Structure 1
Amino acid sequence: MTNNLIETNINAASLTRRSFMAATAAGSAALALGGRAAFAADDTLKIGFISPRTGPLGGFGETDGYVLELARKALAAGLKAGGKTWKVEILDRDTQSDPSRAGQLAKDLINNQAIDLMLAVSTPETINPVADACEAAGVPCLSTVMPWEAWYFGRGAKPGAPSPFKWTYHFGFGVGEFLKTYISQWNLIETNKKVGVMYPNDADGNAIRANLAPALSKAGFTIVDPGAYETGTTDFSSQIALFRQEGVEIFNSFPIPPDFAAFWRQAAQQGLIQQIKICQVAKTGLFPSDIEALGDLGVNLASAAYWHKAFPYKSSLTGVSGPELADGYEAASGKQWTQQLGASLSLIDAGFDALKAASDAKSKEAVAKALSTLKTTTIAGKVDFTSGPVANVSPGPIIGTQWVKAPAGSKFALDYVVTEHATDPNVPVDAKLIAYNG
């Protein structure tokens, strides 16, 4: 993208708290109205952006208002693609953490807004119904932030068979990355290698149980699995009793925040956490608000990051670095940075790189073809659809992390530190993993 079209080195901190709050409060409705009225269809690219900004999964979308404001600022002068300068409208929608609503929003953007490209981010509950709607309608769709196996096989693809998808593409971590990260992370502390797992009966949990648990067993860990639990479970006494009886010293789960909070408080009351040396939580352990809500029980929880401000990459659309993105968000919002900042921006980076690479950004077939061969570097690292484990997928890193008490004088209660980097050695390790108990 040429310098006369956008300013490629936007300082994220330049967004004021007022503009951040205004962008968030205004919501997608006003933006959509502006998109319908402002530009002629033949010179405007309409981009759908669907994420969970409220509800149980709202932590995933909490920072999206800021990221979208950065993107809109970068695109204010248009997008040069295929020898033409296009005006751009990003129509963002909140799923309210409801899969049915996600599908309905996607269909509305496709049928009533005539979008040219769909971007969907965070969890199968958001991404899969959106991707299915796009596949059915012949609209190119790019997504990130869920295990790719839950996206690919969870939507009907079969191992060893050709990809059934023509229009939908996904990048980011998979079971292979979790395996490398967990082995690297768990070997940092001496344990009996007994792992208590609690995987929910959902797309994430089922993909992880079928693929990660057997691989961990082959790597020398003993898996203690009480079976799938239903989202919304309030009594975890039977699981806790089994974990205590088996003497597990590592705990791993992929829960939504309310489920983990209920489990972990009960685990404290019933004496389980005293024997846990590593508590490795995915999905819930991603954001400071979820960890802070646990009080002292949240300190030293291990997590994993699909983006961290220490990632040494810059946004291909806005030019911001990781520290600039994190610091800018904190200055604008007054809240602690989260890994979702870089993830959502990486999706926008990759989506607009595909539009620029397409022979005709207004042709859905051309954009889908550009996605299928996309090779680029976003703020979250490499995206490469030419060498994935299966067609339509580009794998990405997941980095071992931990929530620790912030030093005296910090604005926030917790620090989020990098403890290992097996899936992307370019990310610097800045802390030693601390045992949860021990």
Structure 2
Amino acid sequence: MTHAKNGLIGFRPTRRQLMAGIGAGGLALATQGRAFAAGSENVLKIGFVSPRTGALSGFGQTDGYVLDLVRKALANGLAVGDKTYEVQILDVDTQSDPSRASQLAKSLINSDKVDLILAVSTPETINPVADAAEAAGVPCLSTVMPWEAWYFGRGAKPGAPSPFKWTYHFGFGVGEFHRTYVSQWNLLETNKKVGVLYPNDADGNAVRANLAPLLEKDGFTIIDPGAYEDGTTDYSAQIALFKKEKVEIFNSFPIPPDFAAFWRQAAQQGLRKQLKICQVAKTGLFPDGIEALGSLGFNIASAAYWHKTFPYTSSLTGVTGIELADGYEAATGKQWTQQLGATLALFDAGAAAVKASGTPTDKAALAKAIATLNTTTIGGKVDFTSGPVPNVSPGPIIGTQWVKAPSGSKFKLDYVVTENVTDPNVPVGAKLLPLNG
């Protein structure tokens, strides 16, 4: 396991200082020779767990850039009350493997003695990390997966007290998907028949149990051929059913390789031309995955847990959404992705909790600070005082669409906001286009 350990602490550089000198590969911090006034007891260790390689690597593609920003913002330490803490961020790659995620979390806890774990992106990453942290009594904060799959998927029961004392999660849930999908799908005239392809995993099972019934109450007919296993390569039976039922809306929560296989088969077997809306989540979030589909990727509808037009500023680094996206593109030559804001929001929230704790190396104090956290990040509000269940702060998911970029753009695709029912502060930038429009 490779750790990146850098001293981090409370001056806030200007935005120009922050954005300058940040390359795609990493950032050399000017901390050598800096003597911290604080003693060794004023060192705070934060573990950061994400999937940077493997099937879920799209979620981790921007992590290096965000970590550079965070480390530079904290290079002189983090002031908590009358003390200044040196912060060490230990970042690890799960390689998209849940078993490895659990092992890494246990290593961070037992070997590195971290004070806080931040985990990001999908149940395959977050749930095993959260379980390890809960068992060990280490505070853990996470984002980017449906909160139901995090809360109920880890053993909590509806209506019962929360079984979790140390683990907390913020971000979208089934309720936000429901509101967004109804808002999005009503933008076009359809027969309201929805073909769904939900996998037999934490996301798929949570969505099937909670989202599908809500959509039916809103007048949509759900055509569900049943759960499929991740890694399925032949979707002929599902496609035949969707064609027979004349579905005009398609919705799925697949991992990227599975959607690519399905979508190519849907085009070959005549389903794609029948559809008016293709709405995908979990995959279809990042430009490279859509670009890989060629012309089949145009007009796929998506949903954004962050967009560069979100009107919020990072409380930790001071950068805006536009500055974050533009800085990433300038540094890497790659198109911005929504994960930039989500990962930075996790550090915004984590830093806010550390400051609120008073004594961040006291795990109980830090967990209590997270439980009562009410702050604004670059992704919007994080508020654990009024969640739908304990340990959860809900967040927006915004209707979006991948469209062909205008001539002169250096990228092939443009990612536009088409509706904003879960956060009206986010500006709508374009009309939803029919899939075959």
Query: Quick one: distance in 1 between partners of 2:243 and 2:67?
Result: 46
Asked if residue 215 in structure 1 is aligned to residue 225 in structure 2, the reply is no
Contact 2:418 2:432 in 1 (8 A): yes
Query: Quick one: distance in 2 between partners of 1:437 and 1:219?
Result: 25
Contact 1:11 1:324 in 2 (8 A): no
| Deviates further, 41-50 or 173-182 | 41-50
Q: Which has the higher helix share?
A: 1
Query: Quick one: distance in 1 between partners of 2:313 and 2:17?
Result: 12
Shift of 1:83: 2.0
Selected match of 1:6 from 5, 11, 15 = 11
Query: Quick one: distance in 2 between partners of 1:11 and 1:240?
Result: 51
SS in 2 for 1:185: helix
- What are the superposed Cα offsets for residues 16-42 of structure 1, whole Å, 9 maximum, x if unpaired? 46x32135xx9xxxxxxxxxxxx9641
SS in 1 for 2:24: helix
- What are the superposed Cα offsets for residues 250-272 of structure 1, whole Å, 9 maximum, x if unpaired? 00000011000000000000000
| 1:2-151 paired onto structure 2 within 5 Å | 5-11=10-16, 14-16=19-21, 19-22=23-26, 41-151=40-150
2:31 aligned partner: none
Query: Quick one: distance in 2 between partners of 1:13 and 1:356?
Result: 21
Shift of 1:8: 5.0
Query: Quick one: distance in 1 between partners of 2:286 and 2:228?
Result: 23
* Equivalent residue pairs, number: 421
Task: Please give the TM-score of this superposition, normalised by the length of structure 1.
Answer: 0.94
Contact 1:170 1:394 in 2 (8 A): yes
1:419 aligned partner: 418
Shift of 1:10: 2.5
Letter in 2 for 1:22: G
Shift in CA distance, 60/305, structure 1 to aligned 2, threshold 3 Å: same
Query: Quick one: distance in 2 between partners of 1:194 and 1:131?
Result: 37
Asked if residue 160 in structure 1 is aligned to residue 164 in structure 2, the reply is no
Shift in CA distance, 301/246, structure 1 to aligned 2, threshold 3 Å: same
Letter in 2 for 1:245: K
Contact 1:13 1:327 in 2 (8 A): no
Task: Please give the TM-score of this superposition, normalised by the length of structure 2.
Answer: 0.94
| RMSD (Å) for aligned C-alpha atoms | 1.5
Query: Quick one: distance in 2 between partners of 1:251 and 1:177?
Result: 18
Gaps of 5+ in 2: 1-8, 29-37
- What are the superposed Cα offsets for residues 96-133 of structure 1, whole Å, 9 maximum, x if unpaired? 00000000000000000000000000000000000000
Shift of 1:43: 1.7
- What are the superposed Cα offsets for residues 125-177 of structure 1, whole Å, 9 maximum, x if unpaired? 00000000000000000000000000000000000000000000000000000
Asked if residue 182 in structure 1 is aligned to residue 181 in structure 2, the reply is yes
Query: Quick one: distance in 1 between partners of 2:120 and 2:351?
Result: 15
Shift in CA distance, 9/98, structure 1 to aligned 2, threshold 3 Å: same
Contact 2:18 2:73 in 1 (8 A): no
Shift of 1:361: 1.1
Contact 2:18 2:69 in 1 (8 A): no
- What are the superposed Cα offsets for residues 237-260 of structure 1, whole Å, 9 maximum, x if unpaired? 000000000000000000011000
| 1:289-328 paired onto structure 2 within 5 Å | 289-328=288-327
Contact 2:18 2:72 in 1 (8 A): no
Asked if residue 263 in structure 1 is aligned to residue 268 in structure 2, the reply is no
Shift of 1:12: 8.0
1:279 aligned partner: 278
Shift of 1:437: 1.9
If asked which structure has higher relative contact order (CA below 8 Å, sep 6+), I would say: 1
- What are the superposed Cα offsets for residues 387-413 of structure 1, whole Å, 9 maximum, x if unpaired? 000000000000000000001110100
Contact 1:8 1:317 in 2 (8 A): no
1:233 aligned partner: 232
- What are the superposed Cα offsets for residues 314-372 of structure 1, whole Å, 9 maximum, x if unpaired? 00000000000000000000000000000000000000100000021110000000000
Query: Quick one: distance in 2 between partners of 1:399 and 1:15?
Result: 31
Asked if residue 380 in structure 1 is aligned to residue 385 in structure 2, the reply is no
Matched residues, percent identical? 75
Query: Quick one: distance in 1 between partners of 2:203 and 2:18?
Result: 35
SS in 2 for 1:315: coil
2:406 aligned partner: 407
